Amino acid sequence: MPLSVTDVVVRDAGGLERRLGDWNGQVLLIVNVASRCGFTRQYAGLQALQERFADRGFAVLGFPCNDFGGQEPGTLPEIQQFCSTTYGASFQLFDKVHATGSKTAPYDTLTQAEPAGDVAWNFEKFLIGKDGTVLARFKSNVEPDGAELAAAIEQALAA
- Residues annotated as catalytic (active site), given as ranges: 37
Contact 20, 59 (CB under 8 A): no
- For residue 120, the tally of other CB atoms under 10 A from its CB is 12
Which is it for strands 58-64 and 17-19: parallel, antiparallel or unpaired? unpaired
Which residues pair with residue 18 across a beta bridge?
10
Q: How far is the first Cα of the chain from the last one, in angstroms, to the nearest whole number?
A: 18
Helix (H, G, I), strand (E, B) or coil at 87: helix
Nearest in space to 140 (alpha carbons), one of 124, 119, 117: 124
